[in-house]
Amino acid sequence: MVTLVNIGLKSRIDDPDLWPYVNHILNYLKDEGYSVKIEESMPIPNYERFKLDDKEVSMLDLLIVIGGDGTLLYTLSHLRKNIPPIMTVRWGRYGFLMEIEIDEFKQYFEKFLEGKYKIKEASRIIGFTNSIKFPPALNEYLLVTKHGKVVKLELYKDDVKLFSMVGDGVIVAPTTGSTAYSLSSGGPIVDEDLDVIVITPLNPIQLYLRPIVLPITSTLSIHVPQGSNRVKVIVDGMERGYISPGSTLTVKRYDKIRLIRFKNDYYDRVLRRNIM
């Protein structure tokens, strides 16, 4: 049996159709005697609140996230350490990372309490230059230029040159992100039990360039040579800054988050995501 003291709940906040379901889940947890806090931006009264920061989230035994993939990625973008296990509840059509359907919550929460679940550890990656440290990413780092101009890049694994490219940019993704933008751009589907970094060039002029899969322990360096355009860095769908010519972005594994999983449906979810 699982013992819980503090439960935190974070949901998508821009869809009023979701609120009756969230209220139903909150009332169920309250009726079962659990102490539940909600994330401070949620427009629901009469509940204690928590901030999306490491200190307050570290006090939780369980974090429930309700919404689509963007809700989970936004939540994780604020957290760097001491993240509790996360139970994901899907609201919307494209929630690949979100496992439980919202009307299944009670059924699977009871399974969780009985210990009938698995913990899936998912690696995040982080990138930094000499002057900038970007947030960690569960899905991907995307390096592109503005206004459709091409970018020149040189990529190295542990100081060994992999390739130079001219094109629209590059995607760097851990295993979880292999089924997101990287897959849409021609990258491989990576089995969730593997721990890797996937490099997917975006429309390179060099037609021989193909995606590369590296061990998660690799240190990847992406150099923007002089004469290239400035490169925009987008982390899990959120624009985070720029890299100037002459600079190098280093990317490596950051940490592992813990996702609570009940179903063995990884490939079913991959198929469902790509036929919608």
Task: Determine whether 14 is an active site residue.
Answer: no
Which helix H or strand E contains 260, and what residues bound it? strand 248-261
SS3 88: strand
Closest to 168 measured CA to CA, from 192, 149, 183, 187: 149
CB 174 within 8 A of CB 122: yes
CA distances from 194 to 30, 121, 182 (A): 38, 11, 16
Query: Do β-strands 212-215 and 196-202 pair in parallel, antiparallel, or remain unpaired?
Result: antiparallel
Alpha helices in the chain (DSSP H): 19-31, 54-57, 69-77, 105-113, 181-184, 266-275
Q: Residue for token digits 């960690």?
A: 136
In our burial notation (b when 16+ CB lie closer than 10 A, e otherwise), range 213-225 reads bbeeebebbbbbe
Residues 6+ apart with CB under 8 A from 239: 232, 233
Catalytic, out of 17, 31, 61, 69: 69
Rounded distance, CA 264 to CA 256, Å?
20
Q: Which residues are catalytic?
A: 69
